[in-house]
Amino acid sequence: MTEKKSRYAGAGVDIDKANSFVETIKPMVAATFKRGVLTGIGGFGGLFALGSGRYADPVMVSSTDGVGTKLKIAELCQKHDTIGIDLVAMCVNDVIVSGASPLFFLDYFAVGALDVAQAADVVKGIARGCEISNCSLIGGETAEMPGLYAPGTYDLAGFTVGVCERDNIIDGSTIRVGDKIIGLAASGVHSNGYSLVRQICFEELGLKVGDYVDDLGCTLGEELLRPTRIYTESVLNVIKNFKVGGLVHNTGGGFIDNVPRVLPQGCRAVIDRGAWPVMPVFDFLQKSGKLSNADMYRTFNCGIGMLMIVGSKTADDVIMQLEALGETAYVIGEIAARKSGGKPAVKITE
Protein backbone atom coordinates (compact mmCIF):
# COMPACT_ATOMS: atom_id res chain seq x y z
CA MET A 1 0.00 0.00 0.00
CA THR A 2 1.41 3.40 -0.98
CA GLU A 3 1.84 5.78 1.95
CA LYS A 4 -0.40 8.79 1.61
CA LYS A 5 1.41 12.03 1.04
CA SER A 6 0.79 14.69 3.68
CA ARG A 7 -1.03 17.88 2.74
CA TYR A 8 2.07 19.89 3.78
CA ALA A 9 4.27 17.86 1.45
CA GLY A 10 1.70 18.40 -1.26
CA ALA A 11 2.07 22.13 -0.69
CA GLY A 12 5.80 21.82 -1.30
CA VAL A 13 7.32 21.31 2.15
CA ASP A 14 8.44 17.74 2.78
CA ILE A 15 9.28 17.23 6.46
CA ASP A 16 10.35 13.62 5.93
CA LYS A 17 12.83 14.69 3.28
CA ALA A 18 14.19 17.36 5.60
CA ASN A 19 14.68 14.78 8.35
CA SER A 20 16.46 12.53 5.86
CA PHE A 21 18.74 15.43 4.97
CA VAL A 22 19.67 15.93 8.63
CA GLU A 23 20.66 12.28 8.88
CA THR A 24 22.75 12.63 5.71
CA ILE A 25 24.81 15.55 7.00
CA LYS A 26 25.30 14.38 10.60
CA PRO A 27 28.71 12.74 10.00
CA MET A 28 30.21 15.75 8.18
CA VAL A 29 28.91 18.15 10.82
CA ALA A 30 30.19 16.01 13.70
CA ALA A 31 33.64 15.99 12.09
CA THR A 32 33.91 19.74 12.80
CA PHE A 33 33.24 19.45 16.54
CA LYS A 34 36.03 20.51 18.86
CA ARG A 35 36.44 21.10 22.56
CA GLY A 36 33.56 23.19 23.86
CA VAL A 37 30.71 21.72 21.78
CA LEU A 38 28.04 20.43 24.15
CA THR A 39 25.26 19.43 21.76
CA GLY A 40 24.91 17.31 18.66
CA ILE A 41 22.99 18.19 15.52
CA GLY A 42 19.22 18.24 15.77
CA GLY A 43 18.62 20.28 18.90
CA PHE A 44 16.83 23.61 19.12
CA GLY A 45 20.04 25.49 19.84
CA GLY A 46 23.77 24.85 19.68
CA LEU A 47 25.64 24.95 22.97
CA PHE A 48 29.30 25.88 23.24
CA ALA A 49 31.29 26.25 26.48
CA LEU A 50 34.23 28.62 26.71
CA GLY A 51 35.62 26.62 29.62
CA SER A 52 36.56 28.05 32.99
CA GLY A 53 40.03 29.50 33.21
CA ARG A 54 40.68 29.55 29.47
CA TYR A 55 40.18 33.32 29.23
CA ALA A 56 40.85 36.02 31.84
CA ASP A 57 38.54 38.63 30.30
CA PRO A 58 36.90 37.14 27.21
CA VAL A 59 35.20 39.28 24.58
CA MET A 60 32.85 37.67 22.08
CA VAL A 61 33.19 38.75 18.45
CA SER A 62 30.43 37.88 15.98
CA SER A 63 29.79 38.22 12.27
CA THR A 64 27.14 37.29 9.73
CA ASP A 65 27.35 37.29 5.95
CA GLY A 66 26.40 35.52 2.74
CA VAL A 67 28.07 34.92 -0.62
CA GLY A 68 25.91 37.18 -2.80
CA THR A 69 25.29 36.34 -6.42
CA LYS A 70 28.24 33.96 -6.57
CA LEU A 71 25.44 31.49 -5.83
CA LYS A 72 24.36 31.95 -9.46
CA ILE A 73 27.75 30.68 -10.61
CA ALA A 74 27.37 27.52 -8.52
CA GLU A 75 23.89 27.08 -9.97
CA LEU A 76 25.10 27.52 -13.56
CA CYS A 77 28.02 25.14 -13.00
CA GLN A 78 25.83 22.68 -11.10
CA LYS A 79 28.64 22.45 -8.57
CA HIS A 80 27.69 23.13 -4.97
CA ASP A 81 30.45 21.62 -2.82
CA THR A 82 32.65 24.73 -2.53
CA ILE A 83 30.17 27.57 -2.08
CA GLY A 84 29.97 26.69 1.62
CA ILE A 85 33.68 27.42 1.98
CA ASP A 86 32.94 30.93 0.71
CA LEU A 87 30.16 31.27 3.27
CA VAL A 88 32.42 30.39 6.18
CA ALA A 89 35.28 32.50 4.82
CA MET A 90 33.18 35.65 4.58
CA CYS A 91 32.27 35.34 8.25
CA VAL A 92 35.48 34.09 9.89
CA ASN A 93 37.69 36.52 7.96
CA ASP A 94 35.61 39.32 9.49
CA VAL A 95 36.06 37.92 13.00
CA ILE A 96 39.82 37.43 12.90
CA VAL A 97 40.49 41.08 12.05
CA SER A 98 39.66 41.84 15.70
CA GLY A 99 42.19 39.24 16.81
CA ALA A 100 39.49 36.70 17.70
CA SER A 101 39.60 32.94 17.20
CA PRO A 102 36.41 31.60 15.58
CA LEU A 103 34.62 29.20 17.92
CA PHE A 104 31.51 28.05 16.13
CA PHE A 105 29.42 28.55 13.01
CA LEU A 106 25.75 28.28 12.06
CA ASP A 107 24.19 28.33 8.62
CA TYR A 108 20.81 29.19 7.12
CA PHE A 109 19.90 27.37 3.92
CA ALA A 110 16.72 28.51 2.14
CA VAL A 111 15.35 26.68 -0.89
CA GLY A 112 12.16 26.34 -2.88
CA ALA A 113 12.19 22.53 -2.84
CA LEU A 114 14.83 20.55 -0.99
CA ASP A 115 17.19 18.51 -3.14
CA VAL A 116 19.01 16.35 -0.58
CA ALA A 117 22.08 15.72 -2.75
CA GLN A 118 22.46 19.40 -3.61
CA ALA A 119 21.98 20.51 -0.01
CA ALA A 120 24.43 17.89 1.25
CA ASP A 121 27.06 19.25 -1.15
CA VAL A 122 26.49 22.75 0.22
CA VAL A 123 26.91 21.54 3.80
CA LYS A 124 30.00 19.58 2.76
CA GLY A 125 31.58 22.89 1.75
CA ILE A 126 30.47 24.56 4.97
CA ALA A 127 32.00 21.75 7.00
CA ARG A 128 35.23 22.03 5.02
CA GLY A 129 35.34 25.77 5.68
CA CYS A 130 34.88 25.12 9.38
CA GLU A 131 37.72 22.61 9.36
CA ILE A 132 40.04 25.08 7.64
CA SER A 133 39.16 27.85 10.11
CA ASN A 134 39.16 25.51 13.14
CA CYS A 135 35.60 26.28 14.21
CA SER A 136 32.69 23.96 14.88
CA LEU A 137 29.50 23.77 12.85
CA ILE A 138 27.05 23.49 15.75
CA GLY A 139 23.73 24.29 14.14
CA GLY A 140 21.75 25.55 11.21
CA GLU A 141 18.36 25.86 9.61
CA THR A 142 17.03 24.42 6.38
CA ALA A 143 13.91 26.18 5.14
CA GLU A 144 11.76 25.00 2.24
CA MET A 145 9.84 27.96 0.84
CA PRO A 146 7.98 27.00 -2.33
CA GLY A 147 6.85 29.99 -4.33
CA LEU A 148 9.61 32.20 -2.95
CA TYR A 149 12.59 30.48 -4.58
CA ALA A 150 12.60 29.13 -8.12
CA PRO A 151 13.32 25.40 -8.62
CA GLY A 152 17.02 24.64 -8.26
CA THR A 153 17.86 27.93 -6.58
CA TYR A 154 18.75 28.57 -2.95
CA ASP A 155 20.13 31.21 -0.64
CA LEU A 156 22.69 31.01 2.12
CA ALA A 157 23.55 32.98 5.23
CA GLY A 158 26.23 32.26 7.80
CA PHE A 159 26.83 33.26 11.38
CA THR A 160 29.99 32.87 13.44
CA VAL A 161 31.15 33.74 16.95
CA GLY A 162 34.76 34.06 18.06
CA VAL A 163 36.55 35.08 21.23
CA CYS A 164 39.60 37.08 22.22
CA GLU A 165 41.04 38.57 25.38
CA ARG A 166 39.90 42.15 25.95
CA ASP A 167 43.52 43.31 26.23
CA ASN A 168 44.36 41.73 22.85
CA ILE A 169 41.60 43.27 20.73
CA ILE A 170 42.94 44.65 17.45
CA ASP A 171 41.01 47.80 16.53
CA GLY A 172 43.49 50.00 14.69
CA SER A 173 44.02 52.34 17.64
CA THR A 174 47.76 51.59 17.80
CA ILE A 175 48.43 52.26 14.11
CA ARG A 176 51.08 54.93 13.66
CA VAL A 177 52.57 56.95 10.80
CA GLY A 178 55.38 54.94 9.24
CA ASP A 179 53.78 51.54 9.79
CA LYS A 180 53.91 49.15 6.86
CA ILE A 181 50.91 47.62 5.10
CA ILE A 182 51.26 43.95 4.23
CA GLY A 183 48.93 42.43 1.67
CA LEU A 184 48.00 38.74 1.76
CA ALA A 185 47.22 37.35 -1.67
CA ALA A 186 43.65 36.42 -2.56
CA SER A 187 42.68 33.17 -4.26
CA GLY A 188 40.67 35.05 -6.88
CA VAL A 189 37.55 37.21 -6.91
CA HIS A 190 36.48 35.73 -3.55
CA SER A 191 32.77 36.56 -2.97
CA ASN A 192 32.33 40.20 -3.91
CA GLY A 193 31.48 42.02 -7.11
CA TYR A 194 29.68 39.13 -8.78
CA SER A 195 26.78 41.20 -10.03
CA LEU A 196 29.28 43.19 -12.09
CA VAL A 197 31.22 40.03 -12.99
CA ARG A 198 28.08 38.37 -14.32
CA GLN A 199 27.11 41.46 -16.28
CA ILE A 200 30.51 41.60 -17.97
CA CYS A 201 30.95 37.89 -18.61
CA PHE A 202 27.43 36.74 -19.46
CA GLU A 203 25.58 39.79 -20.74
CA GLU A 204 28.32 41.80 -22.45
CA LEU A 205 30.69 39.03 -23.59
CA GLY A 206 28.06 36.33 -24.02
CA LEU A 207 30.22 33.70 -22.32
CA LYS A 208 29.01 30.54 -20.59
CA VAL A 209 30.52 28.95 -17.49
CA GLY A 210 31.84 26.03 -19.53
CA ASP A 211 33.74 28.25 -21.98
CA TYR A 212 37.52 28.00 -21.81
CA VAL A 213 39.08 31.45 -21.51
CA ASP A 214 42.69 31.68 -22.69
CA ASP A 215 43.43 34.70 -20.51
CA LEU A 216 42.41 32.69 -17.43
CA GLY A 217 43.92 29.34 -18.37
CA CYS A 218 40.73 27.53 -17.39
CA THR A 219 36.97 27.64 -17.92
CA LEU A 220 35.11 30.71 -16.77
CA GLY A 221 33.17 28.66 -14.22
CA GLU A 222 36.35 27.19 -12.70
CA GLU A 223 37.80 30.66 -12.21
CA LEU A 224 34.69 32.25 -10.78
CA LEU A 225 33.99 29.38 -8.37
CA ARG A 226 37.42 29.45 -6.73
CA PRO A 227 36.65 29.47 -2.99
CA THR A 228 37.39 32.54 -0.89
CA ARG A 229 40.67 32.13 0.95
CA ILE A 230 40.38 31.62 4.70
CA TYR A 231 43.16 33.43 6.58
CA THR A 232 42.39 32.21 10.11
CA GLU A 233 45.43 30.07 10.82
CA SER A 234 47.94 32.49 9.32
CA VAL A 235 46.58 35.63 10.97
CA LEU A 236 46.16 34.08 14.41
CA ASN A 237 49.69 32.67 14.31
CA VAL A 238 51.18 36.03 13.37
CA ILE A 239 49.41 37.94 16.13
CA LYS A 240 50.79 35.49 18.68
CA ASN A 241 54.32 36.53 17.77
CA PHE A 242 54.09 40.09 16.50
CA LYS A 243 52.30 43.30 17.38
CA VAL A 244 49.70 43.95 14.69
CA GLY A 245 48.14 47.41 14.65
CA GLY A 246 45.28 46.70 12.30
CA LEU A 247 43.74 44.09 10.02
CA VAL A 248 41.44 44.61 7.04
CA HIS A 249 39.28 41.99 5.35
CA ASN A 250 39.23 43.31 1.79
CA THR A 251 35.63 42.58 0.79
CA GLY A 252 32.79 44.66 -0.68
CA GLY A 253 33.95 48.23 -1.12
CA GLY A 254 37.52 47.12 -1.81
CA PHE A 255 40.47 49.16 -0.64
CA ILE A 256 38.58 52.44 -0.75
CA ASP A 257 35.85 51.59 1.76
CA ASN A 258 37.47 48.89 3.90
CA VAL A 259 40.88 50.30 4.81
CA PRO A 260 39.51 53.50 6.43
CA ARG A 261 37.51 51.36 8.87
CA VAL A 262 40.68 50.67 10.90
CA LEU A 263 42.61 53.92 10.47
CA PRO A 264 42.87 56.22 13.50
CA GLN A 265 42.48 59.97 13.13
CA GLY A 266 45.48 61.59 11.52
CA CYS A 267 46.44 58.56 9.44
CA ARG A 268 46.01 57.63 5.80
CA ALA A 269 47.02 54.55 3.83
CA VAL A 270 49.26 54.96 0.81
CA ILE A 271 49.15 51.81 -1.30
CA ASP A 272 51.49 51.01 -4.19
CA ARG A 273 49.52 49.16 -6.87
CA GLY A 274 52.76 47.95 -8.43
CA ALA A 275 53.82 46.10 -5.28
CA TRP A 276 52.00 42.89 -6.18
CA PRO A 277 51.34 41.11 -9.50
CA VAL A 278 48.05 41.51 -11.33
CA MET A 279 46.02 38.28 -11.19
CA PRO A 280 44.77 37.28 -14.66
CA VAL A 281 41.12 37.34 -13.62
CA PHE A 282 41.26 41.02 -12.63
CA ASP A 283 43.15 42.00 -15.77
CA PHE A 284 40.52 40.11 -17.79
CA LEU A 285 37.60 41.77 -16.01
CA GLN A 286 39.05 45.27 -16.25
CA LYS A 287 39.87 45.03 -19.95
CA SER A 288 36.67 43.18 -20.92
CA GLY A 289 34.43 45.48 -18.89
CA LYS A 290 36.38 48.63 -19.71
CA LEU A 291 36.52 49.37 -15.99
CA SER A 292 38.39 52.32 -14.55
CA ASN A 293 40.99 51.82 -11.84
CA ALA A 294 38.61 53.56 -9.45
CA ASP A 295 35.92 50.97 -10.20
CA MET A 296 38.40 48.14 -9.68
CA TYR A 297 39.68 49.45 -6.34
CA ARG A 298 36.18 49.90 -4.92
CA THR A 299 34.55 46.75 -6.30
CA PHE A 300 37.15 43.98 -6.15
CA ASN A 301 39.96 42.85 -3.88
CA CYS A 302 42.33 43.16 -6.90
CA GLY A 303 44.35 40.21 -5.65
CA ILE A 304 44.74 41.20 -1.98
CA GLY A 305 42.25 39.51 0.33
CA MET A 306 43.59 40.63 3.70
CA LEU A 307 45.71 43.60 4.80
CA MET A 308 47.89 43.62 7.89
CA ILE A 309 49.38 46.81 9.35
CA VAL A 310 52.57 46.33 11.37
CA GLY A 311 55.58 48.30 12.54
CA SER A 312 58.20 49.01 9.88
CA LYS A 313 60.90 47.11 11.79
CA THR A 314 58.91 43.87 11.92
CA ALA A 315 57.37 43.85 8.43
CA ASP A 316 60.00 41.59 6.86
CA ASP A 317 59.80 39.10 9.72
CA VAL A 318 56.00 39.04 9.51
CA ILE A 319 56.18 38.28 5.80
CA MET A 320 58.62 35.45 6.47
CA GLN A 321 56.21 33.89 8.94
CA LEU A 322 53.25 34.35 6.61
CA GLU A 323 55.14 32.64 3.81
CA ALA A 324 56.09 29.79 6.16
CA LEU A 325 52.36 29.41 6.87
CA GLY A 326 51.59 29.08 3.16
CA GLU A 327 50.58 32.65 2.35
CA THR A 328 51.86 34.83 -0.46
CA ALA A 329 52.45 38.25 1.07
CA TYR A 330 53.86 41.61 0.00
CA VAL A 331 54.62 44.98 1.56
CA ILE A 332 52.11 47.01 -0.44
CA GLY A 333 52.23 50.39 1.26
CA GLU A 334 52.61 52.41 4.41
CA ILE A 335 50.75 54.67 6.78
CA ALA A 336 51.19 58.41 6.22
CA ALA A 337 50.01 61.50 8.07
CA ARG A 338 46.63 62.97 7.24
CA LYS A 339 45.27 66.34 8.31
CA SER A 340 41.66 66.51 9.44
CA GLY A 341 39.37 67.09 6.46
CA GLY A 342 42.34 66.87 4.12
CA LYS A 343 43.41 64.21 1.66
CA PRO A 344 41.41 60.98 1.17
CA ALA A 345 42.02 58.26 3.73
CA VAL A 346 43.34 55.90 1.03
CA LYS A 347 45.70 56.80 -1.80
CA ILE A 348 46.57 54.19 -4.41
CA THR A 349 49.56 55.03 -6.58
CA GLU A 350 49.46 53.60 -10.09
Q: What is the mean pLDDT of residues 92-102?
A: 97
Which pLDDT does position 24 carry in this prediction?
Answer: 78
Rounded CA-CA distance 172/97 in Å is 10
Please report the pLDDT score of residue 212 as a whole number: 98
Question: What's the confidence (pLDDT) of residue 314?
Answer: 97
Residues 80 and 140 reside in one and the same domain: yes
Q: Quote the pLDDT of residue 270.
A: 97
Q: How confident is the model at residue 1 (pLDDT cuts 50, 70, 90)?
A: very low
Average of per-residue pLDDT across 133-157: 93
Percentage of the chain lying above the pLDDT 90 cut: 81
Confidence tier at 4 by pLDDT (50, 70, 90): low
Select the more confidently predicted residue: 181 or 48: 181
Per residue in 26-68, pLDDT tens? 888 788 888 888 877 767 788 888 887 788 999 999 999 999 9
Q: Which pLDDT score, from 0 to 100, does residue 3 have?
A: 56
In a domain, 34, yes or no: yes
Whether 99 maps to a domain, the answer reads yes
Question: How far apart (Å, rounded) are the C-alpha atoms in residues 282 and 301?
Answer: 9
Distance between CA atoms of 142 and 146, rounded to whole angstroms? 13
Q: What mean pLDDT do residues 161-180 have?
A: 96
- Regarding whether 84 and 15 lie in a shared domain, the answer is yes
In a domain, 173, yes or no: no
Q: Which H or E run includes 46?
A: none
Domain membership flag for residue 203 = no
Is 73 within a domain?
yes
Residues 60, 186, single domain; the answer is: no
Q: Within this chain, do residues 159 and 243 fall inside the same structural domain, yes or no?
A: no
Which CATH number do you get for residue 83? 3.30.1330.10
Residues 128 and 185 both lie in one domain: no
Beta bridge partners of 59: 164
Q: Is residue 290 part of a domain?
A: no
Cα angle 103, 106, 109 (rounded to 5 degrees) comes to 160
The parent domain of residue 331 ranges over 180-192+227-284+296-349
Confidence of residue 269 (pLDDT cuts 50, 70, 90): very high
- Strand order of the β-sheet with 136-144 is 58-65, 154-165, 101-111, 136-144
Residue 186 lies in a domain: yes
168 secondary structure, DSSP code? G
Q: Is residue 302 domain-shared with residue 261, that is, in the same domain? A: yes
Longest dimension (CA), the chain: 81
Angle at 126 between CA 210 and CA 143, to 5 degrees: 95
Does residue 11 carry a pLDDT above 70?
no
Rounded to a whole number of angstroms, the CA Rg of the chain reads: 22
pLDDT given for residue 23 in this prediction = 77
Over range 183-212, report the average pLDDT: 98
Residues 157 and 232 in one domain: no
> Do residues 85 and 132 touch, judged by C-beta distance below 8 A?
yes
Query: If you average pLDDT over residues 316-343, what whole number do you get?
Result: 94
Please tell me whether residues 161 and 242 are part of one structural domain: no
In the predicted model, what is the mean pLDDT of residues 180-199? 98
166: pLDDT strictly greater than 80? yes
Count of C-beta atoms within a 10 Å radius of residue 33 = 18
Number of structural domains in the chain: 2
Residues 156 and 234 in one domain: no
Give the CATH number, domain containing residue 279. 3.90.650.10
Is 127 found in the same domain as 245?
A: no
Are 94 and 131 members of one domain? yes
Same domain? 108 vs 157: yes
> Is the residue at 221 inside a domain?
no
Predicted confidence (pLDDT) at residue 19 exceeds the cutoff of 80 = no
- Predicted TM-score (pTM) of the model is 0.93
β-sheet with 244-249: strand ranges across: 244-249, 304-310, 180-185, 329-337, 267-272, 346-349
